[in-house]
Amino acid sequence: MTALLLCADPLAPARSRRADPHFAREAEAAALTAVIDHDALARGDVEEAVRRVPRDLGPAWYRGWMIGSDRYADLERALADRGCRLLTDAARYRRAHELPGWYEVFQGRTPASVWTAEPSDDWLAEAAARLGSAGAVVKDFVKSRKHEWATACHVPDLGDRAALRRVVDAFLDLQGEDLCGGVVLRAFEDFTGPEARVWWLDGAPAAVTAHPDTPGERVEPDLAGVGERVAALGCRFVTTDLVRRADGAWRVVEVGDGQVSDFPEDTEVRPLIEALSNA
């Protein structure tokens, strides 16, 4: 039996084993669970983060809030010291969680992308030329500011260098300390309809859900060729978000580590959680 490590309820007493209500469905569906303190992990207190995990728990998946890749490596080590092995190791977590980790494997099925830690004017000019698209989308290695679409995410015309600079600077400003990795520019593609989130476990699609932004809008994506890419990535539990482009092609908008991908609010999570418990 594989354990599921959930985030502890931050409002519960310090020794409580209650899971954060956001992960109540997982807590209910899993046969064996333990909790970690996500706040403690985020501030670097990894010993405190794992204090409530029973010793010698054995193999485990994590299901919880996103974790930075370096912190995930800290977590992996601290858990190993207690006799608990994360089934996704830190290198594979980073590979699925951060765009530069998965981009090469999905190249051709996902919008063309370039990235840097230092988006100088020269770099932006070169990046715009390399993408060759009319417009672009700005994000960091993990997240965009899609809710500030016009000011900090979408660049309608890459030829307008001042506007590109403005959107990238607004993005950096809003991300602040939370910036993950660096800045990514992605060629804008004309997408239509809602995204489908496909949950891959050991190379097979274990579930297809709506994207959490559009719960209730579940679509059936064409997965031809995607499984091969997921297998090539070499991570056991990942998500791919797919959307149809105006020309009909199904595109991979992004890849994520399944442990930290969110479920839409109306999803029955039990089958997937049971599959994880038996993996």
Ligand X SMILES: Nc1ncnc2c1ncn2[C@@H]1O[C@H](COP(=O)(O)OP(=O)(O)OP(=O)(O)O)[C@@H](O)[C@H]1O
**Contacts with ligand X in 216-245 (CB under 6 A)?**
241
Establish if 144 lies at the interface with ligand X (CB under 6 A). yes
Stretch that binds ligand X, among 43-51, 120-128, 135-143, 223-231 (CB under 6 A): 135-143
DSSP 109: T
Establish if 258 lies at the interface with ligand X (CB under 6 A). no
CB of 266 to ligand X, least distance (A): 17
Stretch that binds ligand X, among 50-58, 69-77, 120-128, 139-147 (CB under 6 A): 139-147
**Contacts with ligand X in 65-94 (CB under 6 A)?**
none
Query: Looking at 17, 91, 123, 191, which residue binds ligand X (CB under 6 A)?
Result: 191
Buried b (16+ CB within 10 A) or exposed e, 191-226: eeebbbbbbbbebeebbebbbeeeeeebbebebeeb
Q: Please, which residue, 175 or 277, has the CB nearer to ligand X? A: 175
Q: How far apart are CA 136 and CA 259, in angstroms?
A: 29
By beta carbon distance, the residue nearest Mg ion is 254
CB of 209 to ligand X, least distance (A): 12
Q: How far apart are CA 168 and CA 130, in angstroms?
A: 17
CA distances from 263 to 122, 163, 192, 268, 270 (A): 40, 35, 21, 9, 12
Size of the site for Mg ion (CB under 5 A): 1
CB of 139 to ligand X, least distance (A): 5
Establish if 130 lies at the interface with ligand X (CB under 6 A). no
Query: Looking at 253, 255, 260, 276, which residue binds ligand X (CB under 6 A)?
Result: 253
Long-range contacts of 210-218 (CB under 8 A, 24+ apart): 210/264, 210/266, 210/267, 211/241, 211/264, 212/262, 212/263, 212/264, 212/265, 214/264, 215/264, 215/265, 215/266, 215/267, 216/264, 216/266, 218/194
Q: Please, which residue, 143 or 270, has the CB nearer to ligand X? A: 143
Residue 221 identity (one-letter amino acid): P
**Contacts with Mg ion in 196-255 (CB under 5 A)?**
254
| Residues binding Mg ion (CB under 5 A) | 254
